[in-house]
Amino acid sequence: EAVKLFEQNAGGVEYELMAAMAHQKLGNRARAQQLFDAANKWLFEQVGDGPLEVAPDSQESWWWIPMLALRQETIQQITGQRLPELEKLLEADPANATALAERALLHASIGDHTRSLADLDRAIADNASSPELFGARGRVLAKLNRTDEALADLNKAVERNSQDARVYAERGTIL
């Protein structure tokens, strides 16, 4: 019932975030991600290069802070328990490249490219032969329109015999 009402009365980032949670609970993961991405895009557009945690001049703090809390709740709904599980794994073993890569991809899926890149940088520092890590970092950099860096990483993935079609597709998009 809530999903139907959200779809009929869409109007703003708060509706997109609440509708994303409702769709997630109903198992409509693709629609939940689509709504979250739209809300997240709008939030990041408001801050430009600034931090998301600080209300931009265009928004009032009394409204911005609850939107960030709602965004965080939506993230928890979408990522489930996996993000906290990865945090625990990385507390015990900070150099766990598999956990770093998985957490990086989760962060990328929720639009947190800064954290995603930090995790991928750490994972690559310990495992510079992995085509998967270079491919993932190249795709994140491409999303940020850092095409020269993206292409360099995607090329490294290819040189390391990547089997990931997304690497080749992203290279094709850039070239």
Give me the pLDDT at residue 150, please: 94
Give me the pLDDT at residue 143, please: 85
Give me the pLDDT at residue 2, please: 63
Give me the pLDDT at residue 152, please: 96
- CA nearest neighbour of 141 among 103, 96, 100, 171: 171
Successive 10-residue mean pLDDT values, the chain, 175 residues? 64 86 88 88 84 84 90 85 88 90 88 88 89 92 91 95 92 89
Instruction: Answer for the pair 174, 154: CB distance below 8 angstroms, yes or no.
Output: yes
Separation CA 141–CA 59 (nearest Å): 28
Separation CA 148–CA 93 (nearest Å): 32
Give me the pLDDT at residue 3, please: 62
Give me the pLDDT at residue 79, please: 81
At 131, list the tokens.
Answer: 């085509």
Separation CA 18–CA 146 (nearest Å): 32
Instruction: Answer for the pair 123, 104: CB distance below 8 angstroms, yes or no.
Output: yes
* CB-based burial label for 38 (10 Å; 0-12, 13-18, 19+): middle
- CA nearest neighbour of 95 among 66, 73, 125: 125
Q: What is the pTM of this model?
A: 0.70
Give me the pLDDT at residue 117, please: 93
